[in-house]
Structure formats: structure tokens, C-alpha cells
Chain A
Amino acid sequence: MIFRLCVAGLLFGVATAPGFSQEFDTFGRSEVLPEPERDWVFVDYSLVDVADDRFLGLIGVAETFPTGAIEYSSDGASLFVVETFYTRGNRGERTDTLTIFDTTTLGVAGEIVIPAKRALMLAITGTLALTDNDRFLAVFNLTPATSISVVDIEAKSFVGEISTPGCSLVFSAGDLSYVMICANGDLLAVTIDENGREVSKERTEQFFDPETDPIREPGVRYGDEWLFVSFDGILHSVDVSGSMPRIGESWSLLSASDREENWRITGRQPLAVHQQSGRLYVLARQNDEPLDDPADWDGTEIWSFDLASRERVQRLEALPESDESDAGGAGLGSTTGDGAANILVTQGDEPLLVSAAGSGVSVRHAMSGEYLHERLQNAPSSGWLSLRVR
């Protein structure tokens, strides 16, 4: 063996430039991510630098279907997911945990066991909500009785469960409150104290009419407001800055001519807001009949609106011209595959518009609509989009 090494060394010496010295690697090194940038986006559980088309890492979340929501601390240092485990794979004793990941190592930084009641469903938004002060995280439960589990993030402990009969999904509404959507169209304001214990539950007036035009689940935060779109393209807003949610004026994202042409607001993740400019991005498509589940139908166009003036300011094709693939699926959570299912806008001065279709993730400058990457090469081809830095 020593002889062989000597021969190899001689050959090596002959083949390389004089003075070259190979450095040897050390074993066991793992990357640690630097300070996060504003254009780092999670595509499901994969962290991607969408500006540089670079895959940064993956968080090792227990596989469940569908993908669970991710919540982020406001400093971007921690992220939170809910996981479900069985002692024998898909059977045995069930344990649900709220798991905290460190966003620099993408490793587990903490785990809090919560009641094994977390809602398992296709809706992602509204399954967990971190209060605006980063202190208390609520997990939506469905057994099918509805409730929330409150976790103290600072103490890393489960505080308690709050029953929320008739009301589902949970959204942050300030430092010590949440808002939920009730089956009859009311909102439920849940207030907790400094220890995370229930103080009050109070319903608002009707936010929307579920029998004539229900709202979609994936709401987006715009400052102190939550925005939701209805099946019929009406934008509803609720201001959560006060002690009780204040319902705003609703308006239609579809003009009279849009309606004549049978445009619908669709997509699994149909809304995105750039906070600084007040631009709302939505997914839209034409369909003769109203859609019973708009989430299953991709948007073929992306429209943007100025929220202040309510004017539509952009109209973009959802897919790049180079996209010729048929990305339609035939499985749980699949969509039509002829457009984009998910959209997201990064924040800051130069926002990027990120859209995910089954065939790939596209990135463009949000204000001009000009493509930066027609299709990312180093990212999953589709998935739920979320921002590490809000």
C-alpha cells in the first residue's frame, strides 16, 4: 500500500503545476447559514435564495400530508411547525409537538408536546398563529370539536386549550389576541392574558355571508389588517389593531368586464401583499362556471392592485412562455397544472414576485414584472411559499 501511495504521489507530482499543495478536508463540518436575506423563501420546507437561485437547506419536519404551516419569529431567528408522530410509523400512540427550528442551523432548537388534536387538512394558513409580540403560539385543533392550544414560546411550555365552538382557523391579532373564522360568517376574537390563559371570547358582527359567498381560507396580513378573498372575488378586510376586530369595507377585485369574461380569483395561495407599496397580488383565471373549490384551479394570470386606490396596476401571465410542460397532477392536493398555484412577494425596496406552478418556481421583479428567473433550477418545482424574514 505504501508503495502504491508513493507511485500515486509521483504521478500527482508530475501532472500538476510546481508548488501546488492539496489541502485536506476535515471531517464533520456542516454549514451554518449567515444572516438571513429578504429574498430567502421557503418552498414547503426547503429554504431557497430566490434571487441567486440557490438551494440553502431543508428543515427536517416529520412527513405529514398535507404540508404544515410555518410561523416565524419576527427577528427571523426561529421558526415553528407542528408535527405529528406515531410510535409505530403510521399507527400506535400519537404525539403532537410544536417544534422550534433554529434558522441558522435549520436544526431542532426545542420541542413542546401539545394535545394530539392538531387539525389535519388541506388548508395551511390559519393552522397556527404567533402573537405579534412573538410570545404565544396558537395551534388550531379539529377533532372535530374546534379549539386552540396555546404555547408559551418564551417558557417553551404548553399553557392550555381554549375551546372555540363553531369557529376555526386562527390568525394573530395583536400581542395577546387571535381572531378566528366562524361557520356562520362571524369572527371570534380570543383574548389571552400575560400568561397565555383565556381572558375572553367574543364574536363580531357578521364578516361575510357563507351561504351566498364564503371567503377562502388563505388570508394575508397587511399591516394591522387581515385580507381575505371570497369565492366571488370580493376582498374582505378586518383590522385587528384594537381590542376587538374592526371589519373594513369590502370591494370587488373583478370589474364588470372581468365578470362578463368570467374571470375568477383562484389558486391554492391566491394572495400576496407587498407591505411598503401597498400592492396586492392575486391569481386569476377564466372559467365559465363558478368554481366549487378555487384552490384546485391554478391562476393563469397574476394581477396586482394598489390597495389604496383599488386600481389594478399590473396584469401578468402566470407562466413564462418557455414553460411548455403539462404539470397537472392527479393526487391529493394537486391542481390543474395550467398556471400558478402559489404566489408570494418578498418585502423591502426591491421586492420579488415568486410564483410556484407544478412545473417550477418563477421569480420576477414585483414592480416591473420583468423576469429574474423564468424557472429556478435549484428549488423544488412547487410548494407552499413562505418568507423567513417578514
Chain B
Amino acid sequence: MDSTNWFDRRLETGARYLARLTSRRSFLTRLGTLLLGGASIPLLPLSRAAAQAADAGFKDPDIEGDAGDPMSCDYWRYCSIDGFMSPCCGGSASSCPPGTEMSTVTWIGTCTNPADGVDYLISYNDCCGKSPCGQCFCNNNEDDMPVYVTGRSNNINWCLAHSTTAYHSTVALVLGRADA
């Protein structure tokens, strides 16, 4: 993929993308609701991802209407991604490319699935162990926080807990409904 052309397209779509973004403040209101309504989820993004690794093999819940192109930066799950999209690198939106390992710690975002209008918690796990994939860079950042709010920051190399911290690409796992 030609990165310049891709970037031009990204800028074009960026305007539309930004236009449909809700403001940070409204996200924070939503998060506040989450904190009140489902206390365990936002407080435990790291352990929740790790628990999934052990129990469910990182499988996505079966969500009806998961439409869209996982190789497009506009794909709904990528609303807060910052990295190379795994499907362009030999993996899928929920699996890492061959020869890489999925990080067990990560950051968590909330994205709206346009198919059903529901907000879902998305876990952006990095795929680790090789040099950067270099394909399909996507930098959407919705609700991204500075690095001192570690569990909600996508500017951290989340391969940090692995034997090798080489960052390769990123998956976007649907963990569940944000209002669950």
C-alpha cells in the first residue's frame, strides 16, 4: 500500500471521522457512567485481557452485524487504534500475524458498532516479537489518554511485558458491551 496515498485518504476521511466523533467530554461522561454502572470493567483492563488469554483464547464474543472492512482504518473497531492493523500484516482483527505473540497487557477503548449502534469495549493488543509490520498504519486515537493513565493510552509499547518488546502490529478484540 502506498503510504502517501493512504495518508491522503486518511486526511480526507479524517475530516469526516472527526466530524462524527463525540467530544472528549462526552466520552468522559460515558466513562463516568461506566465507572458507576460496571465498576469492574474499566478498573481492570489489564487483568481482564490477561484473563481472556487464559480462559477464552482471546476469542471475540459473537456479535451480530460485525460489518465492515477490517483492512480499512475506518473499520469500527479501530476507533482508538494507533499502529499497524494486524489484518494487513498476515493476521486478522482478532488474531496476530504468524510468528508473533499477542500482548497480555494492553489499552482499552470504547467504540460504537454502526451495525447495532451499541458501544463495545475494545482491547487493542499489540502483536510482539518482530520488527514493525509497516503496513496499514492507522492512528485514530478516540478517547486516547496520556501515558500516565496507562490503561487508556495507546502511546505505550504494549509489548512491554514480553520477553521481547519488539512491536509488530495491533489487533482490536471486542471484549463485550460497554454498558454490560
Interface, chain A (partner B; CB < 8 A)? 65, 84, 86, 90-92, 94, 119-123, 142-144, 146, 167-169, 181-183, 210-212, 214-217, 231, 287-290, 292-293, 295-296, 326, 328-332, 334, 336
Contact = CB atoms under 8 A, between A and B. Distances in A.
A382 to B, nearest CB: 15
Given A90-B164, A146-B150, A292-B144, A332 B137 contact: yes
B143 A91 contact: no
B28 interface: yes
A98 B150 CA distance: 24
B24 A328 contact: no
A359 to B, nearest CB: 14
A120 B23 contact: no
A211 B28 CA distance: 6
Interface of B: 3-4, 6-7, 10-11, 18-19, 21, 23-25, 28, 31-32, 46, 82-84, 105, 129-132, 134, 137, 139, 141-151, 153-157, 159-161, 163-167
Contacts of B24: 231, 290, 292
Nearest to B32: A211
Nearest to B142: A292
Given A211-B32, A293-B155, A332-B132, A123 B137 contact: no
Given A183-B148, A217-B146, A290 B23 contact: yes
Contact of B155 (A122, A146, A181, A212): A122
A200 to B, nearest CB: 21
B156 A142 contact: yes
B10 A121 contact: no
B165 A120 contact: yes
Closest 9 CB pairs of A and B: A122-B155, A168-B148, A120-B157, A330-B7, A293-B141, A330-B3, A90-B166, A292-B141, A121-B156
Contacts of A217: 146-148
A143 B105 CA distance: 9
Nearest to A183: B149
Contacts of A183: 148-150
17 contacts: A90-B130, A91-B129, A120-B157, A121-B153, A121-B155, A121-B157, A143-B160, A144-B150, A214-B146, A215-B146, A217-B146, A290-B23, A293-B139, A296-B139, A328-B7, A332-B167, A336-B11
Nearest to B21: A289
Contacts of B131: 90
A316 B19 CA distance: 28
B18 A289 contact: yes
Most buried by B among A122, A212, A287, A336: A122
Most buried by B among A65, A119, A123, A211: A211
Nearest to A287: B18
Given A181-B148, A211-B28, A331 B137 contact: yes
Contacts of A86: 164
Contacts of B4: 326, 328, 330
A368 B85 CA distance: 45
Contacts of A210: 145-146, 148-149
A326 B5 CA distance: 12
Contact of B160 (A92, A119, A288): A119
A272 B110 CA distance: 34
Contacts of A122: 147, 155-156
Contacts of B130: 90
Nearest to B25: A212
A331 B146 contact: no
Nearest to A123: B147
Nearest to A64: B165
B88 to A, nearest CB: 12
